[in-house]
Structure 1
Amino acid sequence: MDEPQNLPKMKKFFKIFGFVLLGVIFLGTLGFLYQKSQAKPDVFKDETPLITNIIQKTVATGSVVPRKEVEVKPQVSGIIQDLYVQAGDTVKEGDVLAKVKIIPDMVNLNAAEARVTKAKISFEDAKLDYDRQSKLFEKQVVSREDYQKAKLTYDGAQAEVEAAENNLDLIRKGVTKTSQKTTNTLIRATIDGMVLDVPVKVGNSVIQSNTFNDGTTIATLADMNDMIFDGKVDETEVGKIKEGMNIELTIGAIEHEKFDATLEYISPKGEEENGAIQFEIKANVNLKKDQFIRAGYSANADIVLARRDSVLAVPEGLLQFDNDSAYVEVETQPQQYEKRYVETGLSDGINIEIKDGITKDDHLKGPKVEPGSKDS
């Protein structure tokens, strides 16, 4: 009999409980959203000044080449008969590099042979006259003057025969009987150095250098102990450099090694390349003992424009500017900063020298720390 009377009370209880639960959930949601909407205070990374070297430099691109590089060309045209060197060999001035076999021009050969024949005929005639005049002079039949004329004609005819034969030998062989060691068929080195290239092979035809042709290159020689950096520098930087500056070379093919060089030439005239004006520069490469650089290596030259050693510096990103003045923000209390003006000096694009305004013990305001980052 009591259950029907308690049923309305239970329904009323659950109804009130449901409204209370919804109210709690609603208030909890509002509190959560409110807390989430509140911005957390910004946290900044702590930075300190550093003692470092500031080096201001510009970079020039180019290659390392020998200062003295020559192409050896033949003195006569013909065919390569022998080659005595190959690329990489070291030679001295005067060493024989190759031998050329002369292929004579038939017109010149025919004219030289005809000259020899004519010279011998003239010689035989002069000899007969000389012998006759000599006998008559011994018998005092002719005067000394006639005898001397006959002897002079005889000596001239004999010299002409020798000259004609030598000319024929030069056309046929490139050498005469009286000058075997000075033949121009032997191609000799013109400088001391290393053979960089031998672009011909045995059997190749070559031509001598003349007014209309540069001639065939037999070998390229260079002094590999005297190397220079040949590069280009932009017009915006050329006014900052001068002869005598130190250069640090980085060669792509030689890792983990630097080469010292000294700037010795700056071109007075620029050339346009890809829309920019470039000036040629040359620098003497200071090779150490037993150092060897191959010709033609590409290289980058770091030209030191200015340098400060062991100076107080900060990263350039920490600097802020107020009109023409630079300042940094120095920490006075945790995450509280004050503006402090500084006097700046040399910059290398990453760090900048601080001459006055802060000390190495100051803590500076760095970049903002994002939530979830390693620095947060």
Structure 2
Amino acid sequence: MMKLLLAAAALSGLIVLNLSGCKSKQNAAPAAEPLPVKTVAVHAADEPRWIEMLGQAEGGAEVEVRAQVSGILKRLNYQEGDFVKAGDVLFEIEDAPFKARLDSARSTRKQYADELAQAERELKRTSTLYKTGAASRKDFDDAQSTRNQKKFQFEQAKADEKDAEISLGWTRVLAPASGYASRASLNPGSLIDASSSLLATITQHDDVRITFAPSDRDLGESKVTLESAVRVFTKNGKEIPAKLDYVAKSLDPSVGTRLMRAALSADHPVIPGEFVTVRLMVDVDKQAYRVPQKAVMQRPDGTYCVYVAADGKARLRTVTVGLWEGTDWIVRSGLKDGDLIITNQLLRLQEGSPIRLSANEAPTEKH
């Protein structure tokens, strides 16, 4: 009986030990599985430093359309906002008064032409009589003076006729240059004053320029000249070739900016008044890095960071960034040459998280 009791006690103890061991195994936390990540190796290189701001397009050559004569506006001959060619008739002024003036001037010129011809004949006869002694010197001088007077009157009448003809031609207001015509400032039926009325403006589209004004703080100690690089981007991100053609020699003290202007290439899509993005090169960042934009994270305090793969773990690095360049972000500091930047799994990573490179990851190249 005693042996049976001892055996039962030993069996109970063994069962308790086995149950305790199973419970310990159940409570132990499983080891974290390394996250598969993709990386890209970064390498130091000199990168241009750009500052970015808004610029506005303006017509390089805006021409005013004004009438040379006063009168009632009769007709508008162009579609407002359309492209017009130099010499196109844009406006017509009521021409009846100018035709009447031309007719009058032409009649006066013909009258003086007849009177001049008569004076020429009289002078010729008097000259013949004077040579034969049949006319006095005074008769000859009077005939010559009359001829000269009629000649002057005829020349004046011709000038008046020409002036009336020019004025009549000016009732058709022509485009002084090719370009895009603005909205007409007067409507048909309005009285045009040649001394003050502006009818429209023409903007030459192939000479559009971009004006912008970087701040003194952004410029820092940089020396901007006409040879400095400038880049212009439309609102949809398309880059347009541009070159600086004006740099102010001083700052505007009222706003602390420096006015600059860039000329665009001839085949640009920008129209006057449009806002664009301008990048101006002000320096070169030595030993900077290009990092894919998707790998750069911004903290709540405004600083930036990336995850670097090192010794099988994800290490968080604080970085200083510049502007975007294509699909990359220029990182000025915080990295070392050859660092492996993690480009995925960013929301699941923490400082020190175990990682492994994805099996299908292509070999990293110099970025």
TM-score under structure 1 normalisation? 0.56
1:246-265 CA-to-partner distances (Å, cap 9, x unmatched) read 3332333xx24232311221
Residues 287, 245 of structure 1: alpha-carbon distance in 2 compared, 3 angstrom cutoff: farther
* Alignment correspondent of 1:187: 173
* Alignment correspondent of 1:21: none
Once the two structures are superposed, the pairs formed by residues 206-285 of structure 1 within 5 Å of their partners are: 206-209=192-195, 215-238=196-219, 239-240=221-222, 241-252=224-235, 255-272=236-253, 276-285=255-264
* Alignment correspondent of 1:156: 149
Whole-Å separation in 2 of the counterparts to 1:51 and 1:334: 18
Contact 2:86–2:177, Cα closer than 8 Å, also in 1: yes
Contact 1:313–1:353, Cα closer than 8 Å, also in 2: no
Whole-Å separation in 2 of the counterparts to 1:292 and 1:317: 35
Contact 1:77–1:102, Cα closer than 8 Å, also in 2: no
* Alignment correspondent of 1:297: 274
Whole-Å separation in 1 of the counterparts to 2:215 and 2:96: 52
Instruction: Output the amino acid matched with 1:199.
Output: S
The SS at the match of 2:140 is helix
Residues 208, 272 of structure 1: alpha-carbon distance in 2 compared, 3 angstrom cutoff: farther
The SS at the match of 1:94 is coil
Contact 2:41–2:340, Cα closer than 8 Å, also in 1: no
Once the two structures are aligned, what percentage of the paired residues are identical?
16
* Alignment correspondent of 2:26: none
Instruction: Output the amino acid matched with 1:51.
Output: V
Once the two structures are superposed, the pairs formed by residues 13-52 of structure 1 within 5 Å of their partners are: 51=42
* Alignment correspondent of 1:76: 69
Which sits farther off after the overlay, 194-203 or 62-71? 194-203
Contact 1:50–1:360, Cα closer than 8 Å, also in 2: yes
Once the two structures are superposed, the pairs formed by residues 111-122 of structure 1 within 5 Å of their partners are: none
Residues 136, 264 of structure 1: alpha-carbon distance in 2 compared, 3 angstrom cutoff: closer
C-alpha RMSD of matched pairs (Å): 5.1
The SS at the match of 1:233 is coil
* Alignment correspondent of 1:203: 189
The SS at the match of 1:175 is helix
Whole-Å separation in 2 of the counterparts to 1:277 and 1:286: 30
Q: Does 1:175 align with 2:164?
A: yes
Whole-Å separation in 1 of the counterparts to 2:231 and 2:239: 7
Post-superposition offset of 1:235: 1.9
Whole-Å separation in 1 of the counterparts to 2:183 and 2:151: 47
Q: Which runs of 5+ in 2 are unaligned?
A: 1-36, 300-306, 356-367
Whole-Å separation in 1 of the counterparts to 2:227 and 2:336: 36
Contact 1:233–1:279, Cα closer than 8 Å, also in 2: yes
The SS at the match of 2:249 is strand
1:163-209 CA-to-partner distances (Å, cap 9, x unmatched) read 35864x68xxx723xx58x8333322222333233322222222224
The SS at the match of 1:221 is strand
Post-superposition offset of 1:236: 2.4
Whole-Å separation in 1 of the counterparts to 2:276 and 2:341: 41
Residues 334, 187 of structure 1: alpha-carbon distance in 2 compared, 3 angstrom cutoff: closer
The SS at the match of 1:197 is coil
Whole-Å separation in 1 of the counterparts to 2:315 and 2:181: 71
Q: Matched residue pairs, number?
A: 284
Q: Which runs of 5+ in 1 are unaligned?
A: 1-45, 210-214, 319-327
Residues 348, 97 of structure 1: alpha-carbon distance in 2 compared, 3 angstrom cutoff: closer
Q: Which has the higher strand share?
A: 1
* Alignment correspondent of 1:66: 59
Residues 244, 226 of structure 1: alpha-carbon distance in 2 compared, 3 angstrom cutoff: same
Residues 183, 144 of structure 1: alpha-carbon distance in 2 compared, 3 angstrom cutoff: farther
1:92-117 CA-to-partner distances (Å, cap 9, x unmatched) read 4333332334798xxxx9xx99xx7x
Q: Does 1:286 align with 2:279?
A: no
Residues 370, 221 of structure 1: alpha-carbon distance in 2 compared, 3 angstrom cutoff: same
Residues 267, 316 of structure 1: alpha-carbon distance in 2 compared, 3 angstrom cutoff: farther
Whole-Å separation in 1 of the counterparts to 2:78 and 2:85: 12
Whole-Å separation in 1 of the counterparts to 2:315 and 2:169: 91
